[in-house]
Structure 1
Amino acid sequence: MKVKVRDPYAALRFREFNVFLMLRFAMVFAWSMQFIIIEWEVYSLTKSALSLGMIGLMEVIPAIGMALFAGHIVDQKEKKGMLVKCILGFSIISFGLFLLTWPRVVGDWSTDTILYSIYFLVFLGGLVRAFLGPTIFSLMSLIVPKKAYPNAATWSSSVWQIGAVVGPAVAGFSITWIGVHWSMCTIFACSVLALLTLTQISKKPILNPKIGEPIMESLKEGIKFVYTNKSILGALTLDMVAVLFGGAVALLPIFAQDILKVGPEGFGILRAAPAVGALLTMFVSAHLPFYKNAGIKLLAAIFGFGVCIIVFGLSTWFWLSVFALFMSGVTDGISVVIRQTILQLKTPDSMRGRVAAVNSIFVGSSNELGAFESGLTAKLMGTVSAVVFGGSMTLLIVVFTGIKLPGFRKLDLQKDLEEHENHK
């Protein structure tokens, strides 16, 4: 099948990739909706910013601790089978949360017992996520040809953003309409739908030539590859630190309930605003790719993200807060697309699981670490000061990176794309 380099719908011309996008949407929708409902429930139980931060910490500990091991396993195993196991694990966790929010089940339980049970299931979710990220990343590269990777990365990232738009919005409204308990039932149903969708994707070959390689050698090779590839290392490091200090969304229940006083509906709008902005990026990036002058664009996007976080922290007007979060989504969406394009173009097939695992440590887990950092700093210096501090740190890090890594400012992915075209 011939694919045009400039075709904004190149990856969508492959049937299994469309199935893959449906599957990814279902999982992102369910996971983001579940996280929002957990945040709301935990804050309702405790009224504690630190308790919100603990949600992120409980997920990030296993996600980081198991990431490299998970990457090794994913590189050694068939990807569809691994994804089945990941979705089954998520289904069990969502069903457990469904029971924990059912008054008939936990009616006589103490608040601490319910809280610690939620933390335990979130911890198990971190284990599942350690395997889910590398599996999704590796499976996508087996569905589309290499020359369609940039376009596939754009659509995949965009569908992730769509799920992140709809999930929080639905969560905010469903808490009001049907309550926390039945909202969790909806999430469980989504995981079952994802399993059914996965049956439409065939098993894929294992492209790793070193099947059975000792795990320590495999992990060392993966770490060495990322460390020596300055484009990948720079992108991951920059995004990790920016997200780490820009985790203001973890404090949104406090803003919604205590500062802006807008209730669960306003909470849903606030939580969805960043993803709506990132969704706008999808339509722009599909037609105007960001791979040319990628380095300077990534720096500019993360700098803009930091500015938006500061504006949000200082705002006491609901719609200004929504707009600031919307623009943070636009800038974050650009950085996500650029980073995913860098990873897809510069990672060999045999290393995808391990590189994606390192990516989950650098970037994916930094969301949860950022949530913990935001909760801790809010406890120490107050909610508004914590958000402004995080945004300010993001700006300083971007400036420092731009000055210290002049080569990264000149990063351009045009040559990599042309190489894939020449090796068609």
Structure 2
Amino acid sequence: MAKKDPYAALRIKEFKVFLLLRFFLVFGWSMQFIVIEWQVYALTKDPLSLGIIGLMEIIPALSMALLAGHIVDQKEKRNLLAICIALFSLISFGLFLLTWPKIVGGWSTNTVLYSIYALVFFGGFLRSFFGPTIFSLLALIVPKKLYPNAATWNSSTWQMASVLGSAFAGLSINWIGVHWSLCIIFSFVVLAFIITLQVKKKPILNNKIGEPVMQSLKAGVQFVFKTKAILGALTLDMVAVLFGGAVMLLPIYAQDILKVGPEGFGLLRAAPAVGAFITMLITAYLPISKNAGMKLLIAIFGFGVCIIIFGLSSIFWVSVLALFFSGVTDGISMVIRQTILQLKTPDDMRGRVASVNSMFLGSSNELGAFESGVTAKLMGTVTAVVFGGTMTLITVITAGLVSPSFRKLDLRKDVEAHENS
């Protein structure tokens, strides 16, 4: 058998351009999310206010997700992504203005807070388009036989950008403050827009252009629920993200429990992404398609254990290590899930399947943030985090017992079929 080339997808020039634009976009988005978390908690000192950030994103993201997938499958992907990034730049610029004393000096705290929430709400609409568009565009840039390898590098780039964006956000808040940190974010988003224009326009592979919206949406949802591998992977990750949303409470840990300031906050926020990034680089050399179902179950179980350890820790380095290993397990989960989606999804349904994915996982990020904020308010921060990790363990054990077919899922035949296509 020929030796696997871990850099196969990277030998495609346009894929490298795609990874570069994704890096700048995710770097800016990750940095912005952390800066806004910090600013909102600094304004309110209320854990529920962090949960509301998640709620403001989940409402539009959920309401638009399926329709966004339909639109993505009907439209040219490069231009659609460029439009989304351009609109995202307006949000970043708006947040920059909302933290400028010359603009908001006479405003009340509530007015500033509600204005931030309004921009986050608008960003939720854009989030519903980003996932399906990027997922669909990737499949048009690389050949099918390279999907698993491309999925690994794509996920690795996402994690690396998240690592650096998270770490830099904490340092930037400390060095130049929230306001000028948002100016840097705006610059990165504009750069991502410019790079996007270097990707060529792609053909629309959907042979049902003009298909009635409801019929199109129904077909996408039915496909996901009939494809047990996709449904199982999405459900498991959704629960892990929903109940393991400890990262949303990191401003509280950094400011009130561990007392490590913005630099420590940046390290805490970056630790899981560092772990995930390292793991995904390793998977480029050691594919994990064999026994993928069992590996996914073990990875999410390990994630739950790490969240519990983090919740109970009052020692900074222990907290960082727990978050790092939560990232290691999450990285395995992410690569397996992305590989399943790329291998099992037909070209003409990529937008709709990615939209259902965003409903499961993207919305569970925001819903998990809201759940974490509410439970922290009701139970206390530490109890809320431990509760979330425990619920993750219970879910994984239950899934493993009731779904033997998913436990035995193996992707080697799917990979070989694509390599020979």
TM-score (structure 2 length as normaliser): 0.99
**Contact 2:153 2:281 survives alignment (8 Å):** no
Aligned to 2:203: 205
Aligned to 1:279: 277
**Contact 1:245 1:373 survives alignment (8 Å):** yes
**Residues 136-215 of structure 1 aligned to structure 2 (within 5 Å):** 136-215=134-213
Find the aligned partners of 2:364 and 2:93 in 1 and give their Cα distance.
26
Aligned to 2:82: 84
Aligned to 1:12: 10
Q: Secondary structure at the match of 2:203?
A: coil
**Contact 1:50 1:375 survives alignment (8 Å):** yes
Aligned to 1:116: 114
Which one of the candidate residues 327, 333, 339 is aligned to 2:337? 339
**Residues 396-411 of structure 1 aligned to structure 2 (within 5 Å):** 396-411=394-409
Shift of residue 350, structure 1, vs aligned partner: 0.1
Which one of the candidate residues 62, 77, 80 is aligned to 1:64? 62
Corresponding letter in the other structure for 1:403: L
Find the aligned partners of 1:262 and 1:421 in 2 and give their Cα distance.
49
Shift of residue 334, structure 1, vs aligned partner: 0.5
Corresponding letter in the other structure for 1:23: L
Aligned to 2:360: 362
**Cα displacement string for residues 81-127 of structure 1 (whole angstroms, at most 9, x for unaligned residues):** 10011101100000000000101000000000000000000000000
Q: Secondary structure at the match of 2:308?
A: helix
Find the aligned partners of 1:396 and 1:163 in 2 and give their Cα distance.
32
Shift of residue 283, structure 1, vs aligned partner: 1.9
Shift of residue 199, structure 1, vs aligned partner: 1.8
Find the aligned partners of 2:22 and 2:31 in 1 and give their Cα distance.
14
Shift of residue 242, structure 1, vs aligned partner: 1.1
Shift of residue 290, structure 1, vs aligned partner: 1.1
Aligned to 2:288: 290
Shift of residue 364, structure 1, vs aligned partner: 1.4
Shift of residue 292, structure 1, vs aligned partner: 1.0
The question of 1:74 aligning with 2:72 is answered yes
Find the aligned partners of 1:326 and 1:421 in 2 and give their Cα distance.
34
**Contact 2:82 2:197 survives alignment (8 Å):** no
Corresponding letter in the other structure for 1:320: V
Aligned to 1:268: 266
Find the aligned partners of 2:312 and 2:206 in 1 and give their Cα distance.
50
Corresponding letter in the other structure for 1:231: A
**Residues 24-103 of structure 1 aligned to structure 2 (within 5 Å):** 24-103=22-101
**Cα displacement string for residues 259-297 of structure 1 (whole angstroms, at most 9, x for unaligned residues):** 000000100000000001011112210000111110000
The question of 1:132 aligning with 2:141 is answered no
Corresponding letter in the other structure for 1:130: S
**Cα displacement string for residues 178-209 of structure 1 (whole angstroms, at most 9, x for unaligned residues):** 11000000010001100111121100000000
**Contact 1:100 1:106 survives alignment (8 Å):** yes
**Contact 1:36 1:171 survives alignment (8 Å):** yes
Aligned to 2:304: 306
Q: Secondary structure at the match of 2:202?
A: coil
**Contact 2:146 2:419 survives alignment (8 Å):** no
Find the aligned partners of 1:317 and 1:422 in 2 and give their Cα distance.
52
**Cα displacement string for residues 314-361 of structure 1 (whole angstroms, at most 9, x for unaligned residues):** 000000000000000000011000000000000000000000000000
Provide structure 1 residue ranges, at least 5 long, that are not aligned to the other structure: none
**Contact 1:277 1:327 survives alignment (8 Å):** yes
Which one of the candidate residues 217, 220, 236 is aligned to 2:218? 220
Find the aligned partners of 1:422 and 1:205 in 2 and give their Cα distance.
23
Corresponding letter in the other structure for 1:394: T
C-alpha root-mean-square deviation of aligned residues, in Å?
0.7
Corresponding letter in the other structure for 2:407: R
Q: How many residues of Structure 1 are paired with residues of Structure 2 in the alignment?
A: 420
Corresponding letter in the other structure for 2:98: L
Aligned to 1:321: 319
Aligned to 1:234: 232
Shift of residue 421, structure 1, vs aligned partner: 2.1
Corresponding letter in the other structure for 1:149: Y
**Contact 1:5 1:148 survives alignment (8 Å):** no
Aligned to 1:246: 244
Moved over 2 A (4+): none
The 1:290–1:115 alpha-carbon spacing in structure 2 relative to 1, beyond 3 Å, is: same
Find the aligned partners of 1:412 and 1:193 in 2 and give their Cα distance.
40
**Contact 1:5 1:147 survives alignment (8 Å):** no
Find the aligned partners of 1:341 and 1:225 in 2 and give their Cα distance.
17
**Contact 1:308 1:324 survives alignment (8 Å):** yes
Q: Secondary structure at the match of 1:178?
A: helix
Aligned to 1:420: 418
**Contact 1:71 1:356 survives alignment (8 Å):** yes
Find the aligned partners of 1:117 and 1:375 in 2 and give their Cα distance.
20
Corresponding letter in the other structure for 2:147: Y
Find the aligned partners of 1:5 and 1:205 in 2 and give their Cα distance.
32
Find the aligned partners of 1:356 and 1:107 in 2 and give their Cα distance.
42
Find the aligned partners of 1:97 and 1:63 in 2 and give their Cα distance.
19
**Contact 1:246 1:309 survives alignment (8 Å):** yes
